[in-house]
């Protein structure tokens, strides 16, 4: 499209027969045909899984979800590798005609994350289902990661510079919104692994003040700094007239001005949803018995890990226009602040899983039960 054949080229495949195979590129370049092809491939994959497994694994419906999504993860990895020039000739037509916004730096980064991190999580959860083991923690991390990825991606497409290029293939993203919501409900309904802790041990842990728990004091300090940075970047993308905001967006993170709108959407989600969660986390680290914190810390750990990977990669990627790329003289400060921003929620989730006694209800009836579901 728009490219003339080079010297010595005819523009046709060597085996092309005029009048027989020539219409195929036009057929394949139709966005509606691309969308229908994707739907048919997914439906066929589900049918194959059902007949091969004989329905044995379908006692857990999430098995089918993870297998189908693992297939799409491989497709996303192929897209990212092709857009970065490592391979060629696989999905060029689909990306160009169906979802051109995948050619942006942000689109490439989320495809890398989906094709590597999500794919690994899918394989681990599929293996856990096959061995009848719990995958609840992995599932909650995956849930947060996928939801953050798809929400920022969809909103950026709708309000950014690619809003006029949306095609029917855009509807292929809807299952990534609806299915994770349903999967999240099922994951939260799964029984938790009960720790082997006596009521006395739980009471002893919950009697400790914050100053008696230096690790938690450190986490509270990290969360306070992270919350302040979240609020600051939210004000930056809201065009705060303060000199510090003006200097930051032009000299430290010019990617926040990129008209693709992904970074602006990301910072607003941080400000209006992640910032209140940080405040709740501080509350949960000060007062005992917040049993909701371990689960939700995993969800937000996955969400922020994915978001920071995409934001970091997009800020430095060559596909981002040069005026919006991070200046070389601030690379290290930019990397340090954003890596630390992503590390805080991971440390919080690890702390909640490693020593859950402080977050258990004061007198749970199930404390005498062993690790029944592990």
Between CA 121 and CA 115 the distance in angstroms is 10
Between CA 102 and CA 111 the distance in angstroms is 8
* Contacts (Cβ under 8 Å, ≥6 apart) of 356: 195, 197, 294
Q: In the structure encoding, which two tokens stand for residue 156, read together? A: 């950026």
Between CA 51 and CA 61 the distance in angstroms is 15
Q: Answer yes or no: are the C-beta atoms of 121 and 72 closer than 8 Å.
A: no
Tally of CA atoms within 13 A in the half-sphere of 239 that contains its CB: 1
Averaged pLDDT for residues 71-88? 90
Q: Tell me the average pLDDT of the chain.
A: 84
Q: Answer yes or no: are the C-beta atoms of 310 and 149 closer than 8 Å.
A: yes
Q: Answer yes or no: are the C-beta atoms of 161 and 259 closer than 8 Å.
A: yes
pLDDT digits (tens, 9 = 90+) for 121-151: 999 998 898 888 999 999 999 999 999 999 9
Q: How confident is the model at residue 364, as a pLDDT?
A: 46
In the chain, what percentage of residues exceed pLDDT 90?
59
Nearest alpha carbon to residue 173 among 18, 288, 38: 38
Q: How far is CA 297 from CA 71, 143, 165, 335, in A?
A: 28, 12, 37, 23
Between CA 145 and CA 266 the distance in angstroms is 13
Q: Say which range, 201-215, 220-234, 267-281, has the weakest mean pLDDT.
A: 201-215
Confidence of residue 55 (pLDDT cuts 50, 70, 90): low
* DSSP structural state of residue 23: T
> Which comes out higher in pLDDT, residue 105 or 15?
105
Averaged pLDDT for residues 70-81? 90
Confidence of residue 288 (pLDDT cuts 50, 70, 90): very high
> Which comes out higher in pLDDT, residue 168 or 190?
190
pLDDT digits (tens, 9 = 90+) for 312-359: 999 999 999 999 999 999 999 999 999 999 999 999 999 999 989 999
Question: What value does the CA radius of gyration of the chain take, rounded to a whole number of Å?
Answer: 24
Provide the CA 366 distance to its chain's centre, in angstroms. Answer: 34
Q: How far is CA 62 from CA 55, 59, 130, 287, 374, in A?
A: 13, 9, 12, 35, 18
Q: How confident is the model at residue 30, as a pLDDT?
A: 55
């Amino acid at each position: 499209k728009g490219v003339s054949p080079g010297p010595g080229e005819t523009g046709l495949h060597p085996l092309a027969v005029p009048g027989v195979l020539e219409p195929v590129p036009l057929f394949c370049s139709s966005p509606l045909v691309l969308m229908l092809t994707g739907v048919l491939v997914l439906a066929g994959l589900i049918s194959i899984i059902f007949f091969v497994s004989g329905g044995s694994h379908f006692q857990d419906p999430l098995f089918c979800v993870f297998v189908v999504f693992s297939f799409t993860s491989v497709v996303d990895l192929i897209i990212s590798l092709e857009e970065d020039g490592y391979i060629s000739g696989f999905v060029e037509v689909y990306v160009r005609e169906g979802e051109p916004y995948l050619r942006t730096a942000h689109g490439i980064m989320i495809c890398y994350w989906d094709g590597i991190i999500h794919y690994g999580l899918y394989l681990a959860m599929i293996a856990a289902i096959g061995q009848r083991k719990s995958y609840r923690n992995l599932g909650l991390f995956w849930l947060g990661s996928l939801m953050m990825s798809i929400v920022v991606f969809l909103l950026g497409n709708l309000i950014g510079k690619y809003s006029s290029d949306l095609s029917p293939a855009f509807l292929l993203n809807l299952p990534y919104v609806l299915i994770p919501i349903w999967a999240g409900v099922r994951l939260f309904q799964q029984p938790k692994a009960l720790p082997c802790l006596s009521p006395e041990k739980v009471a002893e842990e919950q009697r400790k003040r914050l100053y008696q728990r230096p690790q938690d004091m450190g986490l509270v300090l990290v969360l306070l700094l992270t919350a302040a940075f979240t609020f600051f970047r939210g004000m930056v993308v809201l065009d705060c007239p303060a000199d510090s905001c003006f200097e930051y967006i032009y000299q430290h993170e010019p990617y926040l001005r990129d008209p693709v709108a992904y970074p602006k959407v990301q910072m607003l989600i941080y400000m209006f949803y992640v910032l209140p969660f940080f405040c709740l986390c501080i509350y949960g680290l000060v007062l005992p018995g917040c049993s909701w914190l371990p689960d939700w810390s995993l969800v937000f750990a996955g969400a922020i890990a994915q978001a920071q990977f995409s934001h970091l990669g997009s800020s430095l990627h060559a596909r981002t226009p040069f005026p919006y790329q991070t200046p070389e003289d601030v690379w290290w400060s930019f990397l340090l602040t954003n890596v630390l921003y992503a590390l805080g929620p991971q440390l919080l989730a690890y702390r909640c899983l490693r020593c859950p006694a402080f977050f258990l209800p004061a007198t749970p009836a199930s404390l005498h039960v062993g690790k029944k579901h592990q």
